[in-house]
Structure 1
Amino acid sequence: MSQRTTRGVLERLANGVVVGGEGYVFELERRGYIKAGPYVPEVVLDFPNAVKELHREYLRAGCEVMVALTYYAHREKLKDVGRENDLEKMNRQAVRLANEVAREGDALVAGNICNTWAYDPDNAKETAKVVRAQYEEQLAWAVEEGIDFVIAETNDYLGEALIGLEVIKELKLPAMITLATVQPTQTRDGYDYVEACKILADHGADIVGLNCDRGPATMLPLIEQIRKSVSCYVAAQPVPYRTTEQASTFEALEFNGQRSFPIGLEPFLLTRFEMADFARRAQALGVNYIGICCGGAPHYVRAMAEALGRTVPASKYSPAMELHPMLGTQVDEKDQQFLSDWKD
C-alpha cells in the first residue's frame, strides 16, 4: 500500500487540471445501498465495503480526489432517519474509507460539507450559529481522521457558503466552495451566481464554481462567466443529464408529463461521449477542477479523464469496437473517426 501523497490540491491545480468525481449518493442508491428521499449515507456504516468499492472504481477511472461520503451526514438529516446518535461514527468512518482507497493510488482526500437546510437568511444571525456548529463538528472529526482539503458544495445560499468557508479557513485548509444553481440566475438569498463566486473568491476561497443541478449545456455558460470574473481556481461539476434552456436544471425535467427528478431521470442521461466533450470544453474555458455530480459513475469519469489526455488504470478496458464479433467488420470510416476523436 502506498503512502499518502505529498502533492496537495493547490500544487496539482498549479500544474494542470484536477479530475474530480462525485455522485456517490445517486450511484449507491441505484445499487441498493441508500434510500432515495432522505439520501442519508447510512451505507457508510451499514455497508462500508460498498463505499470502498465505489471509491476504488473512481480511482481506477482517473479520479484524483476521494471525497469522504459525508454529504447529508449532518445532524439535521440524520434526525430524519433516527440515526443522530451515529453522527460522529458515520463522519469518521467516511473519512477512513476514503483514506484507505486514496492510499492505493496517488489520490487526495477531501472532507465534505453541504447545504444543511437549516440556514434562513431572514433569521441569519440565529440560523448561522446552527450551521456553523454542524460544520465545525463534521470538519473537526474529518481533520482528526486526515483530509487534504475541504469541498463545501451544493450551496443554495451565499450566506451559508460563506459560513462554510470561514470554518475551513479557520482550520487552515484549502477550500473549494461550489454553488447549487437550481434557481434561474441567482442564489436563494438573491446573489447572481457570478457575483456570488466573486464574493467567495474575495473572501479567500481557493476554488470556486458550480456543482449539481445543471448538465453541461446549462452549466458551462455560467462557468465561462465565472472564469472571466475571478482569478482563483474554478471548478465545474455538472450532472450528466440533458438539461435545456426550457428545463435548465434536472429538477425541472419531465418525461411523459411526469416529474423525473430524482428517480426517473434515465431518459435524460448523457452518453460517455457527451461527458468527454464537456471535459474538453471545460478545459478550453480554463476550468481547473473538472468533475461530475449526481448521476455520475466510473465510466463517465474514465471518459472525461481520457478526453483530457490521461491514460488511467481502467483505460485497459476502454472500448475497442473493432474487436466486437458482430460490429467489428461493420465499423465504417465515420465510426472509426468518432472513436478515434473520443480517445484523443
Structure 2
Amino acid sequence: MSKQKDGLLERLNRGEDIIIAEGYVFEFERRGYLRAGAFVPEVVLEHPDLVKSLHEEFVHAGSDVVLAFQYYGHREKLRVIGREGDLEKLNETALRIARDVADKTGSLMAGNLCNSTIYQRDNPQSIKEAEQIFKEQVEWAVKGGADYIVAESFSELGEAMLALEAIKKYGKGLPAAVSFIPHEGKTTFDGVPFGEACRRLEEAGAAVVGLNCGRGPTIIMPIMKEIRKACKGPIMCVPVPYRCNDKYPIFQSFINDETGKRAFPEDLPAFTSSRTEIAQFAREAKALGIQYVGLCCGNASHYLRVLAEGYGRKPPASRFSPNMKDHFVFGDNENQKQYYSVDLKKTISNQ
C-alpha cells in the first residue's frame, strides 16, 4: 500500500481541490498505439514505457492523480478482442506502472472501473457478470496499492450503484469517486435526474460524485449546477475538451459537414476546444465549488496545464506557458533583433 499520508479524503475534507488527468484511451489512439472501436488499452502490455511516460507528462502538467490505465481493460472488453488470457496481467501491469509514478512524484494513485458494456437492469445474468467484472478490478486495485478507486462513465444509476457496492465490499475501505456520463437527456438511462442520482450515490457512501465524459465544458455546467444543489459533499466534473452545444450535446453526436457522416472518432479534431475555453471552464468550475476536476477523452497535457492554472496552480509545465512578448513578430522584447522581421510584422498586421 501507498505510504501517502494525505489521501483523497483528507485533502477533500480540508477543502483542497483535486485535479485529475484522464483521456488515456484517446491520447494513445491518436499516437497509434490503441485501436478506435474496441478502445482496449493493449498499450499497457505492448508499450508499458509509453504509459509510464504519459503518466509522468500529466503529473508534470498539473495532475494530482495517476490514474491506472484499467479503463476498458476488463474481462468483457478483452474477450471481444480475443485477449481474455491477458486480463490479469494487463490490470496488474497498469497498476504497477501507476503506483511507481505516483510514488516517485508524490501523487495519489487511483484504480479504475468503468461501464461494463454488458449491464442490463432487467437481466440477472448480465448483472452477475458485471458485478464479477467490478469485483476483479477492485481486488486488483487493492493488491496494486491504489489510494482510491475511480468508477466512471455509467449511463444508469443501477450500474453505478453496483460498482460502488463492489468497491465497498471488496475495496478494503478505499474511497470511491463515482460518476455518470451525461448523454443527451437530463436523466440517467434508468430515468433518474443526475442531481438525484449523484445524491443517492453520495448517501450510499461515495466520497465524491459527479459527471465525466460525454459533454464538453460549456454544456456540462448546467447539469453540474443541479448536482451542486443536490449534494452536500465534494462533487466532480471531468468533461471532454470538445465544443459540444445544443445541436451536438455529446461529442459522439458531431456530424462532419464535409462528409455528412459522424465525426466520432476520426474527425473529432475539427471540434476540439480552445485553450481559452478550457480556462473559462476552470474559472466557472472553481466558482461553483467543484473540488474534483479534470478532463476526459481528448485531453492532452496542454489542456490540463491550462485547467490547473485556472485553479490557481503553477505546475512544472507552467514554466513553458506561452509568453508572446519574446516572439520575433508579435513580441516586444527589446533584445529581439529586427533584421528581417519589420516587413513581416507589417505584412501580418495588414492581414
Structure (1 or 2) with the larger CA radius of gyration? 2
Q: Residue 270 of structure 2: which of 264, 267, 270 is its match?
A: 267
Matched residues in 2 for 1:262 and 1:190: separation?
28
Alignment of 1:94-113 (within 5 A): 94-113=94-113
1:167 Cα deviation after fit = 1.1
Residue 152 of structure 2 is matched in structure 1 by 153
Superposition misfits of 4+ residues, deviation over 2 angstroms: none
Alignment of 1:18-97 (within 5 A): 18-97=18-97
1:182 Cα deviation after fit = 1.6
Matched residues in 2 for 1:183 and 1:50: separation?
34
Residue identity matched to 2:221? L
Residue 334 of structure 1 is matched in structure 2 by none
Residue 192 of structure 1 is matched in structure 2 by 193
Secondary structure, counterpart of 2:4 in structure 1: coil
1:23 Cα deviation after fit = 0.3
Is this contact kept in 2: 1:235–1:289, CA < 8 A? yes
Residue identity matched to 2:45? L
Residue identity matched to 1:64? D
Residue identity matched to 1:26? F
Secondary structure, counterpart of 2:93 in structure 1: helix
Q: Residue 323 of structure 1: which of 299, 318, 326 is its match?
A: 326
Is this contact kept in 2: 1:184–1:248, CA < 8 A? no
Residue identity matched to 2:175? P
Matched residues in 2 for 1:251 and 1:4: separation?
40
Residue 214 of structure 2 is matched in structure 1 by 213
Residue 337 of structure 2 is matched in structure 1 by none
Alignment of 1:241-280 (within 5 A): 241-256=242-257, 257-280=260-283
Residue identity matched to 1:132? E
Secondary structure, counterpart of 1:122 in structure 2: coil
When the two structures are superposed, what TM-score results if normalisation uses the length of structure 1?
Answer: 0.93
1:103 Cα deviation after fit = 1.6
User: 2:281 aligned with 1:282, yes or no?
Assistant: no
Residue 9 of structure 1 is matched in structure 2 by 8
Matched residues in 1 for 2:146 and 2:129: separation?
24
Secondary structure, counterpart of 2:228 in structure 1: helix
Matched residues in 1 for 2:174 and 2:104: separation?
23
Secondary structure, counterpart of 2:276 in structure 1: helix
> C-alpha deviations, 1:95-138, integer Å up to 9, x for none?
11111111221210000000011110121x33221111111111
Matched residues in 1 for 2:331 and 2:106: separation?
36
Structure 2 stretches lacking a partner, 5+ long? 334-351
Residue 313 of structure 1 is matched in structure 2 by 316
Is this contact kept in 1: 2:62–2:315, CA < 8 A? yes
Matched residues in 1 for 2:43 and 2:228: separation?
36
Residue identity matched to 2:315? V
Matched residues in 2 for 1:95 and 1:131: separation?
21
Deviates more, 1:292-301 or 1:196-205: 196-205
Q: How well do the aligned residues superpose, as a CA RMSD in angstroms? A: 1.3
1:183 Cα deviation after fit = 3.5
1:232 Cα deviation after fit = 1.7
Residue identity matched to 1:138? Q
Deviates more, 1:257-266 or 1:43-52: 257-266
Residue 339 of structure 1 is matched in structure 2 by none
> C-alpha deviations, 1:236-290, integer Å up to 9, x for none?
0000000111211111111213211122111110112211211111010011101
Residue identity matched to 1:289? Y
User: 2:126 aligned with 1:118, yes or no?
Assistant: no
1:4 Cα deviation after fit = 4.6
Deviates more, 1:254-263 or 1:314-323: 254-263
Residue 136 of structure 1 is matched in structure 2 by 135
Deviates more, 1:11-20 or 1:207-216: 11-20
> C-alpha deviations, 1:154-187, integer Å up to 9, x for none?
0011111001101111221111000011241111
Matched residues in 2 for 1:292 and 1:35: separation?
21
Deviates more, 1:293-302 or 1:250-259: 250-259
**Corresponding pairs, count:** 327
Matched residues in 2 for 1:247 and 1:31: separation?
26
Residue 336 of structure 1 is matched in structure 2 by none
Residue 349 of structure 2 is matched in structure 1 by none
CA 1:4–1:325: 2 relative to 1, 3 Å = farther
Secondary structure, counterpart of 2:97 in structure 1: helix
Matched residues in 2 for 1:183 and 1:208: separation?
19
Residue 340 of structure 1 is matched in structure 2 by none
Share of identical aligned residues, percent? Answer: 45
Matched residues in 2 for 1:232 and 1:307: separation?
22
When the two structures are superposed, what TM-score results if normalisation uses the length of structure 2?
Answer: 0.91
Is this contact kept in 2: 1:4–1:106, CA < 8 A? no
